[in-house]
Amino acid sequence: MGRRKSSAVSSLAALIILCVASLALFTVYVKEGDSGPLHTVQLGASEVLRPVRGLLGLAASPLSAASERVGNVMNVEEKRELEEKVLEYEEGAAEAARLRQENERLRQLLDGQRPSFTYSPLASVVAPVGGQLTKRVKINVGTNDGVQPEQPVVVGNNTLVGRTTNQVTPNTAEVVLITDQSFAAGVRIVPPSGSDDDSSDDSHGEGLLRTNWEGYLGVDYVDLSAEVERGDFVTTSGRAGDRELLFPPGLFVGTVESVSSQDIDQYKKIVATPAVKAKDLQEVRVITDW
């Protein structure tokens, strides 16, 4: 009887000690820098597991492709081509709209093929990573290709899909997608190029791009007087208050899906549709300098 009681006490003590050890690990991980030991362990493991993750991703791809085929009536290949064309059109339209809104000096600067952008080599999305509450992917370029933490990740020339996190190894980089709740970017809302509205930039609205807990991409802090309409383009503004530029201006993010506001609201409630869905991501590029 006494031995059983003693065993129960020692088990409880072990449970408490291991829980405290777990919490200590958590605290150290949060407090340590990106070069701390726990982060280094994760980076090393990420590098080692890269081929395995790639293989597993490859093995899982037929499953997702099959479910996509069942869900879609249209031919997958045809649909992909159409989506690419739509994306190309929207990119061009957003670019044109943005340029029309800029002053003459900026228009001349950005005319043509964005000479100030430097891209990493084309990168493949290796696999999704992280827990159920995050939307992150791993790509197969890293510091060897000039990729650094906190750089914009795009599809095509200028469609923003996310940014790199601090988890960058020589051959891989972790990307937090724009639909992750920890992602935020200063954005500007511009009307489609066919619009006759030639009012100033501010009247079309600027705000902060964020994803709420329900998974909806939204633009927060847009003034009630802003003339935002469904179908307007959302592009990066290149600024976030007084903070250093995290994204260059003019990257296409998505289109406005709905706009609403009530009398008691201080700002408009804007829901946007991302230009590229996370599940469609295959090849991306990192803007390494601008």
Partner 1 sequence: MLETVQISVVRAALLVGLAAFLESALSPLLTFGWVGPRFLILGVVVAVAGLRDLQALLLGFFGGVLTDALSSALFGAGALGGVIAAAISVRAGDMRRKRGTGLYFAQTVAVAVAAYDLVALFATALVGQGSPPILSYLASGMFPDVLLNALLAYLAGGWLLRLLVAKEEAWT
Q: Write out the residues near partner 1 by the rule CB under 8 A.
A: 7, 10-11, 14-15, 18-19, 21-30, 38, 41-42, 45-46, 49, 52-53, 56-57, 60, 127-134, 136, 167, 174, 181-182, 213-215
Nearer to partner 1, 51 or 231 (CB): 51
CB 282, min distance to partner 1, A: 15
Neighbours of 19 (CB within 10 A): 10
Nearer to partner 1, 92 or 130 (CB): 130
For 267-279, letters b (16+ CB in 10 Å) and e give bbebbbebbbebe
Nearer to partner 1, 204 or 210 (CB): 210
CB 144, min distance to partner 1, A: 20
Nearer to partner 1, 149 or 238 (CB): 149
Q: What's 204-257 look like in SS3?
A: HCEEEEEECCCCCEEEEEEECCCCCCCCCEEEECCCECCECCCCCCCCEEEEEE
Nearer to partner 1, 157 or 171 (CB): 171
CB 27, min distance to partner 1, A: 7
CA-nearest of 129, 119, 118 to 172 is 129
CB 78, min distance to partner 1, A: 25
CB 164, min distance to partner 1, A: 13
CB 14, min distance to partner 1, A: 5
CA-nearest of 122, 131, 124 to 57 is 124
Q: Would you give the distance in Å from CA 51 to the centre of its chain?
A: 24
CB 178, min distance to partner 1, A: 13
Contacts of 258 (CB under 8 A, 6+ apart): 230, 270, 271
Nearer to partner 1, 30 or 103 (CB): 30
Nearer to partner 1, 190 or 286 (CB): 286
Burial of residue 164, with CB atoms counted within 10 A of its CB: 0-12 exposed, 13-18 middle, 19 or more buried:
buried
